Amino acid sequence: ARLVVLVSGSGTNLQALLDACTDPSYGASVVAVGADRDDIEGLARADAAGVPTFVKRVKDFTTREHWDRAMAETVANFDPDLLVLAGFMKLVGEEFHSRFEGRIVNTHPALSPSFPGMHGPAEALEHGVKISGCTLFVVDDGVDTGPIVAQRAVPVEDDDTTATLHDRIKVVEREMLVDAVGRMAREGFAITGRKVRFGQ
């Protein structure tokens, strides 16, 4: 399967996928990496792996819709089977939904449907939950609301800060991402209502 990965930051989830894809039996390869900003570690990781990259910054376009269209067109040129948002901090818009419906996955550092949005680890601490975790979901037009592909639990420790909790979640998140994307690539998947299952 051909993967295009979009990133906005450190790209440790991307790195986990790049590493997994070096094994031919994984069943997928990263054909391009895109970002909404330059000078991020995620792009350097793609360069180091010899994977083509592209950057489109919202501020270089007259409207958000123009950015969305340009980004989606560039992604489409790489003909992905699956588009993986891996720490991509922008919501994708209509052009993405129409071109890649049901083929975009995103990873979120909380157990959906709890704590959607940008502050999953901080909100888990504020609410005093004892278990948080991470979720891989198929992107729909809401914020972190799409059908769930995989989830893993991570216990919250009494002395956790947002940073320590997020760091421990990210370790598990990378394993979840690699495992679930590999299964999607090798086995296929079907979405029925809100349920995702692997297999044809």
Which residues have a Cβ under 8 Å from the Cβ of 49 and sit 6 or more positions away?
18, 30
109 contacts ligand GRF (rule: CB under 6 A): yes
108 is catalytic: yes
Binding mask 161-200 for ligand GRF (x = CB under 6 A): ---------x--x---------------------------
For residue 77, CA distances in Å to 27, 32, 70, 166 come to 21, 10, 11, 34
Q: Is 183 annotated as a binding residue?
A: no
Among 3, 4, 6, 13, binds ligand GRF (CB under 6 A): 13
Encoded amino acid at 94, one letter: E
133 contacts ligand GRF (rule: CB under 6 A): no
Min CB(166)–ligand GRF separation in Å: 6
107 contacts ligand GRF (rule: CB under 6 A): yes
45 contacts ligand GRF (rule: CB under 6 A): no
Distance of CA 99 to the CA centre of its chain: 17
Min CB(50)–ligand GRF separation in Å: 19
152 contacts ligand GRF (rule: CB under 6 A): no
Q: Is 63 annotated as a binding residue?
A: no
Report the distance separating Cα 119 and Cα 182, nearest Å.
Answer: 27
Which residues have a Cβ under 8 Å from the Cβ of 182 and sit 6 or more positions away?
20, 26, 27, 28
Catalytic residue, chosen from 66, 97, 108, 119, is 108
Positive or negative, the CA dihedral 67, 73, 77, 82 is positive
Q: Is 53 annotated as a binding residue?
A: no
Structural contact between residues 27 and 186, judged by C-beta atoms closer than 8 angstroms: yes
Binding region for ligand GRF (CB under 6 A) out of 8-16, 23-31, 123-131, 190-198: 8-16
Which segments within the chain are labelled E, that is strand?
2-7, 29-35, 53-55, 82-85, 104-108, 131-138, 148-155, 189-192, 195-198
> Binding residues for ligand GRF, per CB under 6 A?
7, 9-14, 42, 86-87, 107-109, 170, 173
Residues labelled catalytic: 108
